[in-house]
């Protein structure tokens, strides 16, 4: 039986949209884990619910950074752009969940700054992921 040459190996690349979707799902799962840790801390320590908005913002930015780093390390191209898109898709998913699950939820002008922060955190994660 003849030996096969390694030169004929075909490298399969995934579609960018699929990789971004995986990165966003990774970020959602990572957020869930961090929120579970903080809810346990709030339950069993003297922390109050007053820290929750800060924890939510911080967790979102950290997980967007991590998800964007995952995406850019898989795609190996346009790290800041793919990372920024990952951040925006993450935020869009949260807005869709909120519109479905919370009947009195409304979108206001403050979400422009949240979208900017999501893009910046994603772009930073994309730059980190492509360079590591």
Can you tell me the mean pLDDT for 65-93? Answer: 93
For the segment 70-94, the average pLDDT, to the nearest whole number, is 92
| DSSP of 25-38 | HHHHHHHHHHHHHH
pLDDT at residue 121 in the model: 96
pTM (two decimals) = 0.84
**Which residue would you say has higher pLDDT here, 71 or 11?**
71
Rounded mean pLDDT, 67-74? 94
List for the chain the helix, strand, coil content (%; round to 5). 80, 0, 20
Would you state the pLDDT for residue 110?
86
Q: State whether residue 13 is helix, strand or coil.
A: coil
Residue 27 confidence (pLDDT): 96
């Amino acid at each position: 039986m003849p030996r096969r040459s390694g030169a004929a190996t075909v490298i399969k690349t995934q579609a960018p949209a699929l990789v971004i979707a995986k990165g966003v799902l990774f970020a959602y799962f990572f957020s869930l884990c961090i929120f579970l840790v903080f809810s346990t801390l709030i339950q069993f320590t003297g922390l109050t619910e007053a820290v929750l908005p800060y924890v939510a913002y911080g967790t979102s930015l950290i997980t967007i950074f991590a998800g964007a780093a995952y995406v850019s390390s898989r795609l190996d191209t346009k790290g800041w752009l793919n990372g920024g898109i990952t951040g925006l898709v993450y935020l869009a998913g949260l807005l869709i969940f909120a519109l479905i699950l919370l009947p009195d939820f409304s979108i206001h002008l403050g979400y422009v700054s949240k979208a900017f922060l999501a893009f910046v955190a994603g772009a930073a994660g994309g730059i980190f992921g492509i360079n590591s």
